[in-house]
Structure 1
Amino acid sequence: MIDLRALRDDPDRLRTSQRVRGEDDSVVDRLLDLDSRHRSALTRFESLRAEQKSVGKSVSRASAEEREALLARAKSLSAEVRTAETEAESLSGELTALLGTVPNLVEAGAPEGGVDDFTVVEEVGVPREFDFTPRDHLELGEMLGAIDTDRGAKVSGARFYFLTGVGAMLELGLLTMAMQRAAANGFTPMIPPVLVKPETMEGTGFLGEHSAEVYHLPDDDLYLVGTSEVPLAGYHSGEILPADSLPNRYVGWSPCFRREAGSYGKDTRGIIRVHQFNKVEMFVYTHPDQAHEEHLRLLAWEREMLDTLELPYRVVDIAAGDLGTSAARKYDCEAWVPTQGRYRELTSTSNCTDFQARRLNIRYRDADGRPRFAATLNGTLATTRWIVAILENHQQEDGSVVVPEALRPFVGRDVLEPVGKK
């Protein structure tokens, strides 16, 4: 949720942000109008209530002649106070509802445009040139006895799969390696719940434009999370954090669930776009004035992980029109997928400034002891999808796959050998 005081001080900043996102900038005038009317109604309510209290005190001290008039005024004021309070509450509800539809302010410097208008920050590594025809990750996974999408579809439907044998070991090793690296960088490891209340999902901004992506259990009114960002953001909801504890860095390992609504026909082969996967996610609470630098640190940790796994990749600065509701700025790291001849997203890191913290009421005390809203950030450190890039980039002509050296202690072998499909 954006800061109303900042909106009053600089409404053109939100207008600009809305335009670069491709959103309606007339919402600024509607917000300002509602805010002005709400403050006027609140002032009137408080003025009438103060008069009501004053008249009430005067009744006991008044003479018999004055008391009748004062009682009549007190009765009239009681009705006026109720009306004024109802109006102020109604306008407050309208204002809060409208604020809830407004995405975060885009950080200065983010590229303008939509999904295809990202800026390539850097390309790292050179895509491998094969002296044989490379196999895609699903063919390799089946040869290795690592991926079984047929039985996944039999058991659960399209976009589900089993990771079997070395496939399961590869994912466990990858995620364990990510958790250990994060812990070494000062993150507190977490295994969060993956069912959350509506207020937690709403607070992180996932029930607006992303609501079609979310699985909902109506009988329990709980949501399955698409990322552990959601429960980690809710972890400190309603709390005031000690200022000297910031930044608070957590890393969560969780299964994630996405409906993939609107993706019919896209990435139907293999495990690139699926309904359930595992992910290691970094999450940070920090001072707002340190959020930009923390964002770059998260990106650096993501890049270190990709470098360690010997994957060619590029870093892209996501355009404003492709940012999620809560993000002010987002960088993705996309790994090269040889059989597709293109880069595909493996990591994403977002600076959400104080947007989520306002919705979830997460604060810290400043140097003067006053509560201020914290900033929140998130970043991916490993997911099931990384298996795609690892298999394809490190494959050999006979269908075996060389395990990146840094990953070998976590997988328990140097090479994954074909075993055939069972």
Structure 2
Amino acid sequence: MIDPRLLRDEPDRVRASLAKRGLSDEVVDRALSADVARREAIGTFEAKRAEQKQLGKLIPQAQGEEKQALLAQTKTLAAEVKAAEAAQNAAEELWRTAILEIPNLAADEAPAGGEDDFVVLETVGTPPVFDFEPRDHVELGRMLGAIDIERGAKVSGSRFYFLTGIGAQLEFALVNMAMDQARAAGFTQMVAPSLVKPRAMEGTGFLGQAADDVYRIEGQDLYLVGTSEVAMAAYHSDEILDMSALPLRYAAFSPCFRKEAGSHGKDTRGIFRVHWFDKVEMFVYTTIEESYAEHLRLLEWEKEFMNKLELVYRVIDVAAGDLGTSAQRKFDCEAWIASQGRYRELTSTSNCTDFQTRRLDTRGRLADGSVGPVATLNGTLSSTNRPIIALLETHQQADGSVRVPKALQPYLGGLEVLKPVHA
């Protein structure tokens, strides 16, 4: 959540951020009103409790009618304390509901607007020009014996698939190369759970605007994550970290699950937009002051991985309306997908400042003993379905074979070319 003091002291700044995201600012007045009511309710309850405690001290010293009167007064006051406590709890809940609706403040540098209002920061490489009719990843995957979409749909439904043979090898190669790069950069490797409690989902902002895209396990208080960011953000929940030990950098592997709500009719062919995929996610805890530089470092690590795959890509500064609840700023790396003739997102990195840590009660202790806020950042190092698409379509050859980028070859047993097994 945002800092409540920011809401009280600079409400117009919060309104401006909401406007930049294309959202209504009515929640600001509602949250401010709820905050006033909450503090008043707290004051009333504390005053009644103090009066009750003072009265309790007088009773042992009183006798006769005076004691009876005090006991009667105590009974009345107890009911008033109970009512004041209930009012305080209700006011707290109204305030919490309102403030949780407010997304992180978008960075001043983030472009205003929605999905199509991004700014291109950099383009790397030139889209390939083929002297033959290029195939898409579905056809290449069939010829290579790498992707089986028909049986994926038979077994699990639409937007599911099997990776077979060299396709499965490609997944493991991508994961291992990503993990090796992360380890070399000082990240602690993790395998994170894909099932989390509601608090982890709420704490990362995935039960807000993204709730429709989340799978909930019926009959259990558990959710399937759409990214290991969720588990990693909750990893240090309710803890006070040593600020001198920051940054804490983790590289977490996990399966990811998304309903893809609202994507009906979009990317129905192939494995670009699916309900399940595997991913290596970078996740960092650091100071707010250092988070901005760390965000650029995460982007550089993502670009390093894209360069190893010898892909053509661009880096975009995502517009405020497309940031998601938790992000203050987000950069995407979009690879050129030959069959679509356009750039599509492969990786994304976000600075969430202290938005998630406030929700999950993660703080840091300074050398002087004081406790302060901590920032979180996340960044995709490698998913598996989309890089496979970009690899196959970018490095395809006329006979349906696919050239293997040099950096990936050691992870495929030295293979230089993936050869068709079907005509």
The alignment's TM-score, normalised by the length of structure 2, stands at: 0.96
Which residue does the alignment assign to 2:316?
A: 316
- Specify the code of the residue in structure 2 equivalent to 1:405: K
Residues 101-180 of structure 1 correspond to what in structure 2 (within 5 A)?
101-180=101-180
Which residue does the alignment assign to 1:23?
A: 23
Deviations 1:102-129 (A, max 9, x none): 2111111110001100111111111112
- Specify the code of the residue in structure 1 equivalent to 2:265: G
* Residues in 1 aligned to 2:225 and 2:65: alpha-carbon distance in whole angstroms: 68
Residues 384-395 of structure 1 correspond to what in structure 2 (within 5 A)?
384=384, 385-395=386-396
Conserved? CA contact 2:216–2:223, under 8 Å: yes
Match of 1:415 among 406, 414, 417: 417
Deviations 1:313-336 (A, max 9, x none): 000011111111111111100001
* Residues in 1 aligned to 2:98 and 2:67: alpha-carbon distance in whole angstroms: 46
How far off is 1:66 after superposition? 4.3
Residues 265-414 of structure 1 correspond to what in structure 2 (within 5 A)?
265-384=265-384, 385-412=386-413, 413-414=415-416
How far off is 1:63 after superposition? 5.9
**2:9 maps to 1:9:** yes
Q: SS in structure 2 opposite 1:272?
A: coil
Which residue does the alignment assign to 1:211?
A: 211
Tell me: CA distance 1:220–1:64, structure 2 relative to 1, closer, same or farther (3 Å).
Answer: closer
Deviates more, 1:237-246 or 1:336-345: 237-246
How far off is 1:64 after superposition? 4.8
* Residues in 2 aligned to 1:261 and 1:70: alpha-carbon distance in whole angstroms: 62
Deviations 1:168-200 (A, max 9, x none): 111110111001100110110011111111111
Which residue does the alignment assign to 2:250?
A: 250
Deviations 1:287-337 (A, max 9, x none): 112111111111110011111211110000111111111111111000011
Conserved? CA contact 1:284–1:378, under 8 Å: yes
How far off is 1:65 after superposition? 6.2
Tell me: CA distance 1:39–1:180, structure 2 relative to 1, closer, same or farther (3 Å).
Answer: same
* Residues in 1 aligned to 2:394 and 2:100: alpha-carbon distance in whole angstroms: 43
Conserved? CA contact 2:244–2:366, under 8 Å: no
How far off is 1:59 after superposition? 2.6
* Residues in 1 aligned to 2:211 and 2:29: alpha-carbon distance in whole angstroms: 26
* Residues in 2 aligned to 1:87 and 1:367: alpha-carbon distance in whole angstroms: 40
- Specify the code of the residue in structure 1 equivalent to 2:422: G
Conserved? CA contact 1:173–1:410, under 8 Å: yes
- Specify the code of the residue in structure 2 equivalent to 1:420: H
Q: SS in structure 2 opposite 1:104?
A: coil
Deviates more, 1:151-160 or 1:174-183: 151-160
Q: SS in structure 2 opposite 1:241?
A: strand
- Specify the code of the residue in structure 2 equivalent to 1:387: I
Deviates more, 1:342-351 or 1:227-236: 227-236
Tell me: CA distance 1:299–1:338, structure 2 relative to 1, closer, same or farther (3 Å).
Answer: same
Identical-residue share of aligned pairs (%)? 61
- Specify the code of the residue in structure 1 equivalent to 2:248: N
* Residues in 2 aligned to 1:84 and 1:348: alpha-carbon distance in whole angstroms: 47
- Specify the code of the residue in structure 2 equivalent to 1:250: Y
Q: Which runs of 5+ in 2 are unaligned?
A: none
Q: Which runs of 5+ in 1 are unaligned?
A: none
- Specify the code of the residue in structure 2 equivalent to 1:418: P
Deviates more, 1:59-68 or 1:280-289: 59-68
Conserved? CA contact 1:337–1:393, under 8 Å: yes
**2:75 maps to 1:50:** no
- Specify the code of the residue in structure 2 equivalent to 1:338: A
RMSD across aligned positions (CA)? 1.4
- Specify the code of the residue in structure 2 equivalent to 1:347: T
Which residue does the alignment assign to 2:40?
A: 40
How far off is 1:68 after superposition? 4.4
* Residues in 2 aligned to 1:85 and 1:77: alpha-carbon distance in whole angstroms: 12
Tell me: CA distance 1:219–1:79, structure 2 relative to 1, closer, same or farther (3 Å).
Answer: closer
- Specify the code of the residue in structure 2 equivalent to 1:324: G
Deviations 1:14-51 (A, max 9, x none): 11111111111121111111111111111121112112
* Residues in 1 aligned to 2:62 and 2:220: alpha-carbon distance in whole angstroms: 58
How far off is 1:371 after superposition? 2.5
Conserved? CA contact 1:192–1:252, under 8 Å: yes
Deviates more, 1:359-368 or 1:60-69: 60-69
Deviates more, 1:297-306 or 1:231-240: 231-240
How far off is 1:278 after superposition? 0.9
- Specify the code of the residue in structure 1 equivalent to 2:295: H
Conserved? CA contact 1:361–1:373, under 8 Å: no
Deviates more, 1:60-69 or 1:99-108: 60-69
* Residues in 2 aligned to 1:268 and 1:411: alpha-carbon distance in whole angstroms: 29
How far off is 1:339 after superposition? 1.6
- Specify the code of the residue in structure 1 equivalent to 2:204: T
Tell me: CA distance 1:59–1:141, structure 2 relative to 1, closer, same or farther (3 Å).
Answer: same
- Specify the code of the residue in structure 2 equivalent to 1:83: A
- Specify the code of the residue in structure 1 equivalent to 2:393: E
* Residues in 2 aligned to 1:254 and 1:187: alpha-carbon distance in whole angstroms: 16
